[in-house]
Amino acid sequence: MRRETQNILLVLLGGALLKISFTGTYLRYVKPAHLWLLVLAGVVMIALAAVSIGRELAGRRTSTGDDHHHPGRSAWLLVLPVLAVFLVAPPALGSDSVERAGDSPPRGSQRESVSYPPLPAGDVLPLSMSEFVERAAWDATGSLDGRTVRLKGFVVHEGDTAYLARLRIFCCAADAFPVKVELVGDAASRFADDSWVEVVAELVPGSSTEANHRVPSVTVESISPIPEPADPYDH
Amino acid sequence: MTSDVLPRRRITSLEVLCVLLVLALVGQNWLTGVLDVPAVRTGATVFVAVCVQALPFLVLGVLVSGAIAAFVSADALRRLLPRRPALAVPVAGIAGVALPNCECAAVPVARRLIQQEVPPAVAVTFLLAAPAVNPIVLVATVVAFPGEPAMVLARFAGSLATALVMGSLWARWGRMEWFAERALRRLPPPGDTRSRWVTFAETARQDLVDAGGFLVIGGLTAAVLNVVVPRSWIDTLGDQILLGILVMAVLAVLLSLCSEADAFVAASLSALPLLPRLVFLVVGPAIDLKLFTLQAGTLGRRFAVRFAPLTFVVAVLCAIIAGGLVLGGPR
């Protein structure tokens, strides 16, 4: 591959990183903390290519070394992430990943029950899915009992059961695993898989057990559609 | 590719790229249509995620690699490292602890070290130690296993042991001719400051193009396996300790997770005893598919096909021994 082609690929790839950084779509792929890494990497890639192009134009390229260096055909593969980002822009992971993952209990399962800090007062308590599921599974103080909470996630139907689910990532979408809550009743039946909803609900006490892989049930008070959040994952 | 020798009208990679991009643009609707299958969509997201997550670290690695090429002379490196491999290998292991470095970043740096006449055994130790035992990874492990402080110690011991054992094995039996010729080619020694910066930029750029393609292969493989291998398999393993160890070791290779994140994945697989999960944590940063393709591309295929299987075996054994000593059995 010629140097010019390599440089164009680098500019495109750096541009792809900058694009997802500035449009916010990077949140579909990595955790928010990666933003400045992505911007930096994009800028460095474009700068490295620019330096090379600049020297090329100035005719200052020395004939030693690189002219005889053919990086294998592998460099062509850099086209793939470029095309994927600019043309396809894969969506955030959703119900397909939830169904694929099977059942794994939430984090913290090395511990026996522990005491979580008390929840703030208020009528309807907004909670992240992860916190809700963890508290339902491990909180010895029963802080969720009798509390009405507001959860945001997407709907997943498995068999006759409807779940509210969200994927949790630690670094990037490759390590995502689901947290889910069973929605008792047929309140969610009018929503298709992957529709984002906000659910006001109450935990069914004692519904998070070893046998059901710590998937708690909730009784739904209200369920309403919402747009997909900017950051689709729990962290 | 000296253009002055070849006839002008030859089709170059530049034109191929242009045609490719135009075709992709024209076929965009068709392309997105084809990809609109749940499994493919999930795979595509994971593919982009692996690339997007790893590229910044690869960039960091090529910058360090370029800086070594341009500003650190082979003499300086020789003075810095003890002469005897028996001493230099542990020093490289400790250097890995101090440098928070993702596995993708360590590969180009290791190659540059070899190019600057650092003994390959030392570079190999660094390659294995840097991503596995640096502070960021250890802190992530503490956070992921809140009730199990021994897990961090076991991971540290297992990974450092893997790096040291591989370094010693390489010092004894490794051969220079296994490295690709291009991995060993010395750069012309930089002269004045200006040419140093040029060397820096050019080396970093070349390393990035070289390694980037291989990273993409790794990302593709990881994406396919992420979709094809259901994690629910793991739940069925239960208490079968040997099978668990084997499956988790293979899974660590196949999933190609970032070493910063693998502790959380291991923590979530709570159906398994601690030992198989420790094996997962020690094997993953030492060798996985993404690393294998990177190493094959950067250091040479003959190196990678020898190095990878041996690392796998050594890492599994080190993890089992560390687990036995620190965790006190399978648990």
> Hey, what domains does chain A have and what are their CATH numbers?
3-88 (no CATH), 95-225 (2.40.50)
- Tokens 């242009």 found at: B18
> Which pLDDT does position A228 carry in this prediction?
93
- Tokens 């009798």 found at: A146
- Give A 153-182 residues with CB within 8 A of chain B: 170-175, 177
- Provide the sign of the torsion angle of the four alpha carbons A104, A177, B312, B322, taken in this order: negative
- Smallest Cα distance from A122 to chain B, Å: 30
Token pair for residue A104?
Answer: 């794994």
Query: Which of B82, B114, B49 has the alpha carbon at shortest distance from B298?
Result: B114
DSSP per-residue codes, B69-93: HHHS-HHHHHHHS-SSHHHHHHHHH
pLDDT tens-digit readout, B222-262? 788 778 776 666 666 666 788 888 988 988 888 777 776 67
d(CA B126, CA B80): 14
d(CA B313, CA B122): 20
Q: Does B101 touch chain A (CB under 8 A)?
A: no
Q: Which of B52, B217, B255 sits opposite A30 (nearest CB)?
A: B52
What is the torsion angle, in degrees rounded to the nearest 10, for the CA atoms of residue B306, residue B310, residue B312 and residue B313?
A: 150
Cβ atoms B156, B197 nearer than 8 A: no
d(CA A4, CA A2): 5
> Which pLDDT does position B9 carry in this prediction?
60
Query: Which of A83, A91, A155, A95 has the alpha carbon at shortest distance from B46?
Result: A91
> Which pLDDT does position B186 carry in this prediction?
66
Q: Which of A5, A34, A110 sits opposite B17 (nearest CB)?
A: A5
Cβ atoms B59, B208 nearer than 8 A: yes
User: Who wins on pLDDT, B211 or A110?
Assistant: B211
Exposed, middle or buried, A216 (CB in 10 Å: 0-12/13-18/19+)? buried
| 3-state secondary structure (DSSP) of residue A127 | coil
Measured in whole angstroms, the distance separating CA B17 from the mean position of its chain's CA atoms is 28
What are the C-alpha distances in Å from B16 to residues A1, A2, A82, B19, B25? 10, 11, 15, 5, 14
Query: What proportion of chain A, given as a percentage, has pLDDT over 70?
Result: 89
pLDDT tens-digit readout, A172-205? 888 888 899 999 988 888 999 999 999 999 999 8
DSSP assigned state of A206: T
> Chain B contacts of A66, Cβ < 8 Å?
202, 206
Cα angle A22, A25, A26; round to 5: 85
User: Who wins on pLDDT, A111 or A174?
Assistant: A174
Exposed, middle or buried, B224 (CB in 10 Å: 0-12/13-18/19+)? middle
DSSP assigned state of B179: S
**A105 with B202: Cβ contact below 8 A:** no
Measured in whole angstroms, the distance separating CA B22 from the mean position of its chain's CA atoms is 34
- Give B 221-280 residues with CB within 8 A of chain A: 222-223, 226-227, 230-232, 235, 255-258, 260-262, 264-265, 267-271
Q: Does A214 touch chain B (CB under 8 A)?
A: no
Average pLDDT over residues B106-122: 84
Give residue limits of the domains in chain B: 38-327
Q: Which of A20, A93, A109 sits opposite B42 (nearest CB)?
A: A93
> Which pLDDT does position A19 carry in this prediction?
95
DSSP per-residue codes, B241-260: HHHHHHHHHHHHHHH---TT
Token pair for residue A60?
Answer: 């200052």
Helix ranges restricted to H, A85-233: 95-101, 129-138
d(CA A29, CA A220): 31
d(CA A226, CA A153): 9
Length of chain B: 331
Q: Which of A10, A96, A110 sits opposite B41 (nearest CB)?
A: A96
Angle of helix B241-255 relative to helix B193-228, nearest 10 degrees?
130
d(CA A189, CA A143): 29
> Which pLDDT does position B3 carry in this prediction?
46
> Which pLDDT does position A45 carry in this prediction?
95
Measured in whole angstroms, the distance separating CA A86 from the mean position of its chain's CA atoms is 19
> Chain B contacts of A26, Cβ < 8 Å?
52
pLDDT tens-digit readout, B270-290? 667 888 889 999 998 888 888
> Which pLDDT does position B130 carry in this prediction?
82
Phi, psi of A70 (to 5 degrees): -105, 105
DSSP H or E run through A150 = strand A148-158
In the chain, the amino acid numbered B323 is G
What rounded mean pLDDT belongs to chain B?
Answer: 81
Cβ atoms B132, B163 nearer than 8 A: yes
Cβ atoms A152, A229 nearer than 8 A: yes
Q: Decide if pLDDT at A48 tops 90.
A: yes
Query: Which of A50, A69, A66 has the alpha carbon at shortest distance from A58?
Result: A50
d(CA A139, CA A214): 12
d(CA A4, CA A55): 11
- Provide the sign of the torsion angle of the four alpha carbons B279, B92, B123, B192, taken in this order: positive
Phi, psi of B95 (to 5 degrees): -60, -35
DSSP assigned state of A190: T
- Total-model pTM: 0.80
- Smallest Cα distance from A223 to chain B, Å: 25
Residues 6+ apart with CB under 8 A from A148: A123, A124, A125, A200, A201, A202, A221
**Interface test mutation site (partner B, options A80, A98, A171, max chain B beta carbons within 10 A):** A171
Q: Exposure pattern of B257-283 as b/e (b: 16+ CB <10 Å)?
A: bbbbbbbbbbbbbbbbbbbbbbbbbbb
> Which pLDDT does position B131 carry in this prediction?
81
- Tokens 């005889």 found at: A68
**B231 with A75: Cβ contact below 8 A:** no
User: Who wins on pLDDT, B236 or B311?
Assistant: B311
